[in-house]
Structure 1
Amino acid sequence: MPIAHRHDAYEETIYGIEGVLSFVVDGQRRDVRRGEALCIPRGVVHRFDNFEAVDAKVLAIVSPGILGPEYFREIAAIANAAVGGPPDPAALAQVMLRHGLTPAP
C-alpha cells in the first residue's frame, strides 16, 4: 500500500513469513516468499504490492531503528478510513514525510 518512496536515514530488510509480496526496488521486481529476504539500501526508491489472493506477512527491520510505531498507526488510520477504495495518496505522503520517508515523484 505505501506509495513508492525512499528513506535516506536507514536501510530496510524484509523477511518473508507468509504469502508473497512483490517489491519493486530501483526499478527491479522481486517477489519475497516465506523464508526469503530482501535488503533495500538507503536512498533507493521502492514499493510493494500483494498480487496474490491470500494475505502476505513479512518482518521489516530498519537499521538504525528510527522508524517508530506512530508511523504505522498513522498509516493504518488512513487505510482504515478508505473503506471500499484506495487510501488517499496525499495523506499517505504527509505521514511519510513526517517520519523520514520521501515519496517518489
Structure 2
Amino acid sequence: MAARTREEIKIGPLSIRFLLEGEESAGSVAIFEFDVPARAAVATAHSHDAYDETIYGLSGVLSWTVNGARVDVGPGDVLHIRRGEVHHFDNAHDAEAKALAFVTPGILGPEYFREIAALLDTAAGSPPDVAAIGAVMRRHGVTPAV
C-alpha cells in the first residue's frame, strides 16, 4: 500500500489522524492517533455499543476514567476499554499528550469525528447543540453517559 497524507481532524483542541480505517482491514480494526494539548478536558463520558477501544500511550500522560476508576496512560502504557464501559479522558498535565487508539472491530471511522467537528464549528463560541451531538454519537454507536 502506498503512503498517503493523513487527514487531520480538529475537534476543539483535539487533533485526530486515522492511520488505518476499518475498510482497509476488512473491518477487523481501525487505528487513529490523537494529540491532546496540556490542561485540556476533551471527551464527554460515553460508552461504545459494538466495539472495544484499546489506548496505547505515545507521549505525555492522559488521565482516563473508566467505570469510575481513574487510570493514567503514559508512554508505553496500554488501557483496554470494553464495549459498554463508560469512560472519558483529559490531559491535566503541563505537556501535550499523544496516543494511539485501536477500535475492534473497525466500525468507527473518521466520518464520526468530522460530523462532531462540524457541529462544534457551527456553534462558533456559542454552546454546542447537545441534542445534535448526541444524535451523531448514537448514529455511530457511541452512547453519551448523560
Above 0.5 in TM-score? yes
Percent sequence identity over aligned pairs: 61
1:78-103 Cα offsets, whole Å, 9 max, x none, are 44456668755444322211211000
> For residues 89 and 36 of structure 1, do their structure 2 counterparts lie closer, same or farther at Cα, with a shift above 3 Å needed?
farther
> For residues 64 and 32 of structure 1, do their structure 2 counterparts lie closer, same or farther at Cα, with a shift above 3 Å needed?
same
Distance of 1:60 and 1:87 partners within structure 2: 25
Specify which structure has the bigger relative contact order, considering alpha-carbon pairs within 8 angstroms and separated by 6 or more residues: 1
2:12 aligned partner:
none
1:53-73 Cα offsets, whole Å, 9 max, x none, are 222111001100000110121
> Structure 1 or 2: larger strand share?
2
Q: Which runs of 5+ in 1 are unaligned?
A: none
TM-score with structure 2 length normalisation?
0.63
2:107 aligned partner:
66
- Name which one, 1 or 2, has greater alpha-carbon Rg: 2
Q: Which runs of 5+ in 2 are unaligned?
A: 1-41
Given candidates 44, 47, 53, the residue that maps to 2:94 is 53
The RMSD of aligned alpha carbons is 2.0
> For residues 90 and 49 of structure 1, do their structure 2 counterparts lie closer, same or farther at Cα, with a shift above 3 Å needed?
farther
Distance of 2:97 and 2:126 partners within structure 1: 20
1:44 aligned partner:
85
